[in-house]
Amino acid sequence: MFHEPSVSAGKDPAQNYKMRLGVWMVLSYSLFYAGFVAINLLRPMLMEKTICGGLNLATVYGFALIGVALVQALVYNALCNARERKLDVPQAPAEGR
Amino acid sequence: MAIFVFLSFVLFVLGLSFYLGSKTKTSSGYYAAGGQIHWAVNGIAFAGDYLSAASFLGICGMIATAGYDGFLYSIGYLAGWIVALFVVAEPMKRLGKYTFTDAIDSKYNSRGIKLAAALSTLVVSICYLIPQMVGAGVLVQPLLGLDHYWGVIMVGAIVITIVATAGMASTTYVQFLKGALLIVFSTVLVVAVCLRGFNPRPDQGGRVPFHEPVVLAAQGEGAQLAVTDPGWSVVEVKGVPAAQHAFARLNRGGQETWWLVDAGPAGTRLVEIQSDVATPDGRRLINGAPASKDNALRQVGNLESLRGDTEMPRGAVSPVGLLSALSDRDTRIRRWKEVRFGDADGAKVTAYYPASTPGNLFMRPGLKFKVQGTPLEKFDFISLMLALFLGTAALPHILIRYYTVPSPASARKSTIVAIAAIGFFYILTLFMGSGAAINGVLNPADSNMAAPLLARSFGELLFAVISAIAFATVLGTVSGLIVAASGAVAHDFCDRFLNLGMDDRTKIRAGKISAFVIGAIAIVLGILFKGINVTFLVGLAFAVAASANLPAILMLLFWKRTTAKGIVASIFVGIVASLGLILFSPELYKLYGLDPASAPVPFSNPGIVSIPLSFIALVVVSLLTPKRAPGEPARAARR
């Protein structure tokens, strides 16, 4: 007995593109995140250095990790939408069984 | 006021559940809200689901007591959504039906996967439930004046009602409402903190007089210690290696109190601390007098100086100005630490003592996670950051929310809304936590109440609203967890693993019974784990999820050689390794009342060991087993 999805999504010709794009985006964000961890371990004193507006590197880097996540998410969505439009992927599939 | 706001909110939530429950007739409606939730609503519901007691109570509390180290959790929790969005969201939606198990098993139809994934969902959900229930107990104490266990029982009862009436539909709208309210009122709280600005002697707007610890001059040390003021006599001096300090028990007029011995180059002085003493004859003394409603631990946490100035400027400060001033090396924040020891008469003493911390240390990692410590401490830090990054995308109660929207594109868009809402909230945590650290609101015995107590310093109305939202925070997350766990028992285990051939009505009934049993288990665990920082416990749940589930999800998507047996091995190895390492870790040894140094596992965050082990198990077993069991048809062939 196989178990079908709750709604039928239909075939998605943009699937491979989105998967590749997602992997590259995760890898690039991972490097940014790893940089934060690495500075804390290798040069922790650097984290208390004032960077801008009186804020130290720890605060700026922490906020940047949150901000960059949102920017990447928006870019990813825009690129996926563009590819789905180009390949005419249905956005509102028929309701499941 | 507080009770009225709180009860109104609870009644509204219950009314909504009964209304939606009357419309829920199918198992799809019960487990996945019919798959027809709008992506924007689902995105905020994601935030409501995800921003648990750990985020609101735990992170704010940890920032208030350990500075920037608490904010590491905010960063890690948010970063995990990147993995969820880019790798997991759309495939999970495409492959699954009601539960995480459906997606993992979609290519294999394996009884082993059904059992392993259902067990994993149950284990992760229960690990995650414990801190939520602990948070509920913490909340009702100042709000309703009830004991911790009553808060746990109340949450358990309300959540069982919510889930048992309408399942995912009511859960979704409770989470949506709570997510939106949490973000709005956290913003209000941060604005209030900035408008209040700095005060070296915070008095909660005139409500609670500030108490400056008394300092006594002394001579000598050890057994020869003597107080200069003849009104005081030294009863005993106790060296406490865990605190790297000695503490003195002094007597004045028959009342005994504990003091911190501060031996500096200018001479010895004794600094007033707070103490909670359990005597051998069963009495409980707070600061030397019997514990009572009127004699409780004083609220603490204040600035000693701001940029070297003890008479700091008053008035509103900008958000950047607040963090900038707190980061300065000449700013000093008075934090309060806790240590336990026994006295000469056999009493158990819990001492809360002040520690002056420079701003530059408070506002960077290092106070809790020793990034400048031993290799093992650094290893622990890496392990925590790894588990937080990889855990989000493997949490079953988050993954099931992908089944409540109508399409993979909606799953993607709702994740982006979630990232925006959750990211904004996590930025607010740094302001709420540091605001609590300097406004004299902290309960030294329990960091979890930092944010609600900060709200109370601005008046009863804000406290009532924030507490009701905090309670709703627990309700929203616990509802999601119980839906996920009951789905694992009723849908994955009973219906699919045992193949009981359940119809729609039976499936819903089985889900409701499971919700009741799991809710009851959560109540018991919530009472047993009282007093532990909730975000620390959630960090451990992330490690279990990342170890047990993520390798299976990623390899299923990206490695064609993955087999059903490989997935089963990966899940079991992930569960056993992560739970085993946690149970024998120093932090849990503290909980057992044992010496943390005697713990067989020398670190507290297991992810860096258990996640690779789970991957290795999957790869090795997959390579040793055939791709598909003989006679097992491919999914494509079935269609």
- Write out chain B residues lying below 8 Å of A48, CB-based: 327, 329, 360-361, 363-364
In one-letter notation, the amino acid at residue B124 is: V
Please tell me the distance from the alpha carbon of residue B52 to that of residue B73, in angstroms, as a whole number.
12
- How far is the alpha carbon of A36 from chain B, nearest alpha carbon, in Å? 10
Q: Is B19 exposed, middle or buried (0-12, 13-18, 19+ CB in 10 A)?
A: middle
Contact B324 A7 (CB under 8 A): no
CB-nearest partner of A9 from B87, B93, B98: B93
Same domain membership, residue B51 and residue B174 = yes
% residues pLDDT > 90 (chain B): 43
Q: Confidence band (pLDDT; 50, 70, 90) for B505?
A: confident
CB-nearest partner of A76 from B86, B321, B638: B86
B543 assigned to some structural domain: no
**Domain ends where: B362, B381, B405?**
B362
Interface test with B, best of A7, A12, A65 (most B CBs within 10 A): A7
Structure tokens at A76: 């990813």
Q: Confidence band (pLDDT; 50, 70, 90) for B526?
A: confident
Contact B371 A40 (CB under 8 A): yes
Contact A73 B105 (CB under 8 A): no
B210 assigned to some structural domain: no
A9 assigned to some structural domain: no
- How far is the alpha carbon of A7 from chain B, nearest alpha carbon, in Å? 7
Contact A22 B87 (CB under 8 A): yes
- Write out chain A residues lying below 8 Å of B403, CB-based: 6
The number of domains in chain B is 2
Interval B563-573: pLDDT, tens: 999 999 999 99
Is B338 a residue whose pLDDT tops 70? yes
Same domain membership, residue B408 and residue B286 = no
Is B2 a residue whose pLDDT tops 80? no
Q: What is the CA radius of gyration of chain A?
A: 20
B542 assigned to some structural domain: no
Contact B105 A3 (CB under 8 A): yes
- Break chain B down into helix, strand, coil percent, rounded to 5: 60, 15, 25
Q: Output the CA torsion B319→B451→B371→A42 (10° steps).
A: -30
B567 assigned to some structural domain: no
Same domain membership, residue B426 and residue B516 = yes
Contact B355, A25 (CB under 8 A): no
Same domain membership, residue B327 and residue B459 = no
Q: Which residues pair with B289 in a beta bridge?
A: B286
Q: Confidence band (pLDDT; 50, 70, 90) for B528?
A: confident
Same domain membership, residue B28 and residue B92 = yes
- Write out chain A residues lying below 8 Å of B496, CB-based: 1, 3
B277 assigned to some structural domain: yes
Q: Which of residues 409-428 of B touch A (CB under 8 A)?
A: 409, 412-413, 415-416, 419-420, 423, 426-427
pLDDT at A36: 96
**Domain ends where: B530, B550, B573?**
B530
SS (H, E, C) B59-77: HHHHHHHHCHHHHHHHHHH
Same domain membership, residue B139 and residue B26 = yes
Q: Which of residues 18-37 of A touch B (CB under 8 A)?
A: 18-19, 21-23, 25-26, 29-30, 33, 36-37
B612 assigned to some structural domain: no
- B384: nearest CA in chain A? A37
- How far is the alpha carbon of A74 from chain B, nearest alpha carbon, in Å? 7
Q: Confidence band (pLDDT; 50, 70, 90) for B134?
A: confident
Contact A62 B408 (CB under 8 A): no
A7 assigned to some structural domain: no
Contact B207, B455 (CB under 8 A): no
Is B24 a residue whose pLDDT tops 50? yes
Is B79 near chain A, with CB under 8 Å?
Answer: yes
**In B340-407, which ranges are continuous DSSP H helix?**
359-362, 375-391, 396-399
pLDDT at B192: 96
B583 assigned to some structural domain: no
pLDDT at B629: 52
Contact A70 B75 (CB under 8 A): no
pLDDT at A32: 97
Interval B475-494: pLDDT, tens: 777 877 888 888 888 878 88
Please tell me the distance from the alpha carbon of residue B476 to that of residue B328, in angstroms, as a whole number.
38
pLDDT at B494: 82
Is B98 near chain A, with CB under 8 Å?
Answer: yes
Q: Is the dihedral of CA B531, B535, B540, B545 positive or negative?
A: positive
Give the number of other CB atoms < 10 A from CB of residue B504: 13
Interval B186-200: pLDDT, tens: 999 999 999 999 988
Q: Which of residues 219-278 of B touch A (CB under 8 A)?
A: none
Interface test with B, best of A3, A16, A56, A74 (most B CBs within 10 A): A3
Same domain membership, residue B275 and residue B165 = no
Is B38 near chain A, with CB under 8 Å?
Answer: no
CATH of the domain at B159: 1.20.1730.10
Structure tokens at B43: 């995105």
Among B159-163, B368-372, B404-408, the range with the most confident prediction by mean pLDDT is: B368-372
Please tell me the distance from the alpha carbon of residue B596 to that of residue B601, in angstroms, as a whole number.
10
Contact B416 A74 (CB under 8 A): yes
Same domain membership, residue B456 and residue B413 = yes
Is B420 a residue whose pLDDT tops 70? yes
Q: Which of residues 38-67 of A touch B (CB under 8 A)?
A: 40-41, 44, 47-48, 50, 53-59, 62-63, 65-67
Q: How big is the A-B interface in CB pairs under 8 Å?
A: 173
CB-nearest partner of B86 from A9, A22, A65: A22
- A33: nearest CA in chain B? B79
Those residues whose C-beta lies under 8 Å from the C-beta of residue B397, and which sit 6 or more positions away, are B49, B125, B128, B477, B480, B481, B483, B484
Please tell me the distance from the alpha carbon of residue B309 to that of residue B547, in angstroms, as a whole number.
49
Contact A91 B407 (CB under 8 A): yes
Interval B571-611: pLDDT, tens: 999 999 999 998 898 888 877 778 888 889 998 889 999 99
Please tell me the distance from the alpha carbon of residue B35 to that of residue B408, in angstroms, as a whole number.
11
Interval B286-319: pLDDT, tens: 999 999 988 999 999 999 999 988 887 778 999 9
Same domain membership, residue B398 and residue B253 = no
Is B90 a residue whose pLDDT tops 80? yes
A74 assigned to some structural domain: yes
Contact A53 B320 (CB under 8 A): yes
Is B78 near chain A, with CB under 8 Å?
Answer: yes
B311 assigned to some structural domain: yes
Instruction: Write down the mean pLDDT value for chain B.
Output: 86
- How far is the alpha carbon of B419 from chain A, nearest alpha carbon, in Å? 6
Contact B615, B555 (CB under 8 A): yes
Give the number of other CB atoms < 10 A from CB of residue B314: 11
Same domain membership, residue B220 and residue B187 = no
- Write out the residue range of the structural domain in which residue B312 sits: 215-362
CB-nearest partner of A77 from B91, B413, B427: B413
Same domain membership, residue B522 and residue B433 = yes
Of residues B505, B515, B486, the one with CA closest to residue B162: B515
Give the number of other CB atoms < 10 A from CB of residue B355: 13
Helix (H/G/I), strand (E/B), else coil: B155: helix
Same domain membership, residue B282 and residue B398 = no
Structure tokens at B511: 């889900």
Q: Confidence band (pLDDT; 50, 70, 90) for B66?
A: very high
The number of domains in chain A is 1
Is B368 near chain A, with CB under 8 Å?
Answer: no
- How far is the alpha carbon of A90 from chain B, nearest alpha carbon, in Å? 9
Interface test with B, best of A21, A42, A66 (most B CBs within 10 A): A66
- Write out the residue range of the structural domain in which residue A46 sits: 15-86
- Write out chain A residues lying below 8 Å of B109, CB-based: 1-3
pLDDT at A97: 32
CB-nearest partner of A6 from B35, B71, B85: B35
Q: Rounded mean pLDDT of B68-87?
A: 92
Listing DSSP states for B535-575 in one string gives: HHHHHHHHHHHHHHTHHHHHHHHH-TT--HHHHHHHHHHHH
Is B14 a residue whose pLDDT tops 80? no
